């Protein structure tokens, strides 16, 4: 089922999750164990992130530095299909601009279509310090709006090879990212909203926000979107803070703000109590969001289901 159908048919707001593939060489059973914990909470869908190649520098025995380029977490398509078939839950693989040509993207989308995947999330992807050379005769999507345009074209039966006759149209529900605190590359919020509006015009059906720790960021963002004519569902994205390291790593990696109240409470606590503080904070966020009739809430889980179980126990969901 398409994400938009899940939203339209839901009698009550629901909670969905996002996980990451294991490191190269990892065991899929670890992911299955994680998903088995998540399915207890009846998510309508689970996102599976994608990762492009990145640069890694290793020191050699003689003191030199060796540069390596590799994908550390492959397997997005395989995991998405395996989870969907094993648990009968819709999965949403992430499709990236960075690190992939349009031709590679088209091939991946064809495979996903054949395998019965109905939803994809189109994102630019993080800059990992490596720009993959584009082979001669190939093309790339620089920005997410271009990626949305490519997927929308396939939904109309238009492929990169324009001479294909009677090409089968796909029917992907296309999700995109939204940024309540604006994307770090945007000069201001107005410009960022114009980007999101362009993605909706290109064919995006819904958006999921970057994580935030002040609900006012989401409510203000939603109001600005509606005033700008952006009418698609906008799902709030949350992450449970579970360590003191998150106080610096989350703002650094995701360009978000940690409220002073949360920062002070975590800093004053013993390490063993940080997860409890993060769960309580997330609980208050979820309750306020649900009371304000959001269509759903999306949690960035990565690979640890324990904080979510603690959260659901508190919410009594």
Decide which of 66 and 203 is more confident.
Answer: 203
At 133, the pLDDT band (50, 70, 90 cuts) reads low
3-242+275-315: CATH, from 3.10.180.10, 2.60.120.560, 3.20.20.220, 3.30.160.620: 3.20.20.220
The mean pLDDT value for 78-90 works out to 96
pLDDT of residue 61: 52
The answer to whether the beta carbons of residues 207 and 178 sit under 8 Å apart is: yes
What is the tens place of the pLDDT at every residue in 149-171?
999 999 999 999 877 778 899 99
Task: Enter the tokens of residue 36.
Answer: 């088995």
- Where exactly are the structural domains of the chain? 3-242+275-315
Give CA angle at 278 (277, 283), nearest 5°.
100
Q: How far apart are CA 137 and CA 164, in angstroms?
A: 18
pLDDT of residue 127: 59
Q: How far apart are CA 89 and CA 150, in angstroms?
A: 26
Decide which of 33 and 133 is more confident.
Answer: 33
pLDDT of residue 163: 76
Decide which of 74 and 148 is more confident.
Answer: 148
Residues of the chain with pLDDT > 70: what percent? Answer: 89
pLDDT of residue 24: 84
What is the tens place of the pLDDT at every residue in 53-62?
554 445 445 4
Q: In 3D, which of 84, 93, 5, 99 has the Cα closest to residue 50? A: 93
**Residue carrying the six token digits 């005769």:** 137
Work out the burial of residue 139: count CB atoms within 10 Å of its CB; fewer than 13 is exposed, 13-18 middle, 19 or more buried: middle
Decide which of 230 and 26 is more confident.
Answer: 230
Q: What is the mean pLDDT of the chain?
A: 90
Q: How far apart are CA 254 and CA 162, in angstroms?
A: 38
pLDDT at 225 over 80: yes
At 51, the pLDDT band (50, 70, 90 cuts) reads confident
């Amino acid at each position: 089922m398409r994400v938009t159908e899940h939203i339209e048919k839901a009698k009550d707001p629901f909670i969905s999750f996002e996980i990451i593939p294991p490191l190269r060489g990892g065991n899929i059973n670890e992911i299955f164990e994680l998903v088995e914990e998540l399915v207890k909470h009846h998510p309508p869908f689970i996102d599976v992130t994608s990762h492009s190649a990145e640069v890694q520098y290793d020191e050699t025995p003689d003191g030199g530095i060796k540069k390596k380029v590799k994908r550390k977490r492959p397997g997005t398509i395989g995991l998405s299909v395996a989870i969907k078939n094993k648990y009968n839950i819709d999965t949403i693989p992430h499709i990236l601009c960075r690190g992939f040509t349009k031709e590679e993207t088209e091939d991946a989308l064809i495979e996903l279509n054949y395998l019965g995947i109905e939803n994809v999330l189109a994102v630019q992807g993080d800059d990992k310090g490596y720009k993959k050379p584009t082979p001669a005769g190939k093309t790339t999507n620089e920005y997410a709006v271009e990626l949305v345009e490519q997927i929308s074209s396939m939904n109309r039966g238009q492929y990169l090879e324009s001479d294909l006759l009677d090409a089968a149209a796909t029917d992907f529900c296309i999700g995109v990212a939204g940024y309540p605190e604006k994307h770090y590359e945007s000069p201001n919020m107005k410009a960022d909203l114009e980007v999101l509006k362009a993605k909706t015009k290109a064919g995006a059906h819904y958006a999921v926000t970057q994580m935030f720790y002040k609900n006012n960021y989401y409510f203000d963002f939603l109001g600005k979107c509606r005033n700008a004519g952006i009418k698609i569902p906008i799902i709030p994205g949350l992450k449970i803070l579970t360590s003191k390291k998150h106080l610096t790593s989350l703002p650094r990696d995701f360009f978000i703000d940690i409220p002073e109240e949360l920062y002070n409470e975590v800093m004053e606590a013993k390490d063993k109590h940080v997860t409890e503080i993060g769960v309580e904070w997330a609980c208050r966020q979820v309750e306020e969001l649900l009371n304000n009739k959001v269509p759903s809430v999306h949690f960035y889980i990565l690979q640890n289901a324990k904080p979510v179980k603690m959260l659901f126990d508190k919410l009594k969901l």
